[in-house]
């Protein structure tokens, strides 16, 4: 086997391992948080995320939300954000709103409706949003500004950090 083939094989094994780890972690959390849920909708979402190459992106989102919560003590706004109501992000702790399993339309389980890069919006209180963005900038070099909004650009995902004004 040539060196090029060896590298390609290693990359394929690495991707397969990440997908298996991703599926395991999600199923573990499903059994912990929503044991009554059937696997049908969950597997549909997992299949689409794996097919679209979004496994690493879900890990990054989880790391951002967990890191900001643990290190800064800030939580993304509950009930807001583009992934609210989806199964996998809820199980991974990216969102806080439990999915409505009776709802037939789920944005992450329909391959035809997912466009890459996946556009994700996270909302933080106006008072803390800039601190959250600074925290993300320290860990990810691809934070840019687009039309005055800070965004994290990844190969298959763009995360926009928006403000919520509280009255």
d(CA 47, CA 19): 10
Q: Give strand ranges (E) for the chain.
A: 118-125, 143-146, 149-153, 157-164
What average pLDDT does the structure give for the chain?
88
CA distances from 42 to 86, 96, 98 (A): 9, 17, 13
Q: Residues 120-143: pLDDT tens digits?
A: 999 999 889 999 999 999 999 888
Q: Quick one: what percent of the chain has pLDDT higher than 90?
A: 58
pLDDT at 107: 65
d(CA 167, CA 161): 20
Torsion angle, CA of 60/50/25/20, rounded to 10 degrees?
Answer: -120
pTM: 0.86
pLDDT at 23: 95
Q: Residues 52-77: pLDDT tens digits?
A: 999 999 999 999 999 999 999 999 98
pLDDT at 147 over 70: yes
Q: Residues 90-99: pLDDT tens digits?
A: 999 999 888 8
Q: Please count the helices (runs of H) and the strands (runs of E) in the chain.
A: 5, 4
């Amino acid at each position: 086997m040539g060196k090029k083939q060896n590298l390609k094989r290693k990359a394929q094994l690495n991707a397969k391992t990440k997908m298996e780890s991703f599926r395991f972690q999600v199923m573990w959390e499903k059994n912990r948080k929503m044991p009554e849920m059937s696997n049908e909708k969950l597997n549909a979402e997992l299949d689409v995320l794996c097919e679209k190459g979004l496994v690493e992106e879900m890990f990054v989102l989880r790391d951002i939300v967990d890191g900001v919560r643990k290190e800064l003590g800030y939580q993304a706004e509950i009930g807001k954000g583009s992934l609210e109501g989806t199964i996998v992000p809820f199980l991974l702790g990216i969102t806080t709103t439990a999915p409505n399993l009776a709802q037939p339309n789920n944005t992450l389980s329909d391959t035809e409706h997912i466009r890459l890069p996946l556009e994700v919006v996270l909302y933080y209180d106006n008072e803390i949003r800039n601190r959250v963005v600074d925290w993300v900038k320290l860990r990810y070099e691809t934070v840019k500004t687009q039309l005055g909004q800070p965004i994290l650009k990844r190969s298959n995902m763009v995360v926009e950090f928006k403000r919520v004004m509280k009255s």
